Amino acid sequence: MRVSSILIVLIGFGVAGGSVYAARDYLEMQAKAGRDGQMATVAVLVAARDIALGQTIEPHMITTQDWPVDSVPPGVFTDSAMLLPDPGEQPRRAMRAIAQGELLTANRVSDWGEKVTIAQTLAEGTRAMAISVDAQTAVGGFVTPGDFVDIVLTQGGGEELRAVTILQNIRIIGVDQDASEQTDAPSVARTVTVEVTPDQGQRVALAQQAGKLSLSLRDPNASVDEALPAINLSDLLMIEKPAPVEVSAPAEAAPEPAPIRRSIVVRRAGVPTTEDY
């Protein structure tokens, strides 16, 4: 019995050792295959930290990242000398907010010494327009740059008070003097700047003179609703409007009766004649 037990133990050690060697050989083969088929990469420049709109590009703000050569997008920078100025030269600035880890591309940074303003964030054919707001009309201060809102006009008074949504899905590009889309802290603003077409800008200008404008924060992924009808205070309070009183046309006057004609027969010298009276 002792001999058989020893044999079983020795066989077990042999199987275990063979398994270890087989696993090691398999892993080495896999690693070699991975090295042989490794995809070619190139070092590209990315943001090492969040960079705000208009901020100067500085050395500590950039780093490199390996990127597959076959999928490098156009306009990327591969050399820091293409982003950082020589001594005494004007710097480049962020044309838009750049998040940490994002690729630094030509359309995201300015030319050397170029001034960066909010106008450079506008889409082609649009305008920037300011709207006066307060805590109540600006969603309690939770509206921040990059959000999308509906604009609601309230006008009139008493039972004639009404509200109507004049514009939908309008992008906020600035809150007071802050245009950074990285801002997430709520703040009570006095003005918000929105991106509108020329026609929408006319509507906003007219609406600001006609009544009070309020912003309605919306889901950026939600589809635009159909045009919403205006709602009156009477609709909100479900006040039934009196039915219009029908005024009947005056009855036509009855025609006057024809006059009654009477006549008599008069005989003169035996000749009868008829006379009316």
Q: What percent of the chain has pLDDT over 70?
A: 70
What's the pLDDT band for 252 if we cut at 50, 70, 90?
low
- CA dihedral sign of residues 70, 74, 80, 81: positive
What's the pLDDT band for 41 if we cut at 50, 70, 90?
confident
Span of 98-107, 154-163, 266-275 with lowest mean pLDDT: 266-275
pLDDT reported for residue 228: 80
Which of 235, 233, 234, 216 lies closest to 225, judged by CA?
A: 216
CATH of domain 41-103: 3.90.1210.10
Whether the predicted pLDDT of 36 surpasses 60: no
For residue 131, what are its two tokens? 């709207």
pLDDT reported for residue 213: 93
Whether the predicted pLDDT of 196 surpasses 90: yes
Residues 6+ apart with CB under 8 A from 195: 122, 123, 126, 127, 128, 170, 171, 172, 173
The domain locations on the chain are 41-103, 119-237
Q: What are phi and psi of 163, to 5 degrees?
A: -135, 145
Q: Which of 27-41, 161-175, 258-272 has the highest mean predicted lDDT (pLDDT)?
A: 161-175
Which residues are bridge partners to 275 per DSSP? Answer: 264
pLDDT reported for residue 114: 84
For residues 49-59, give the mean pLDDT.
87
For residues 234-247, give the mean pLDDT.
68
For residues 229-243, give the mean pLDDT.
74
pLDDT reported for residue 28: 67
Whether the predicted pLDDT of 124 surpasses 90: no
pLDDT reported for residue 25: 65
**Residues 150/211, Cβ–Cβ less than 8 Å:** no
For residues 230-235, give the mean pLDDT.
82
More confident residue, 152 or 18: 152
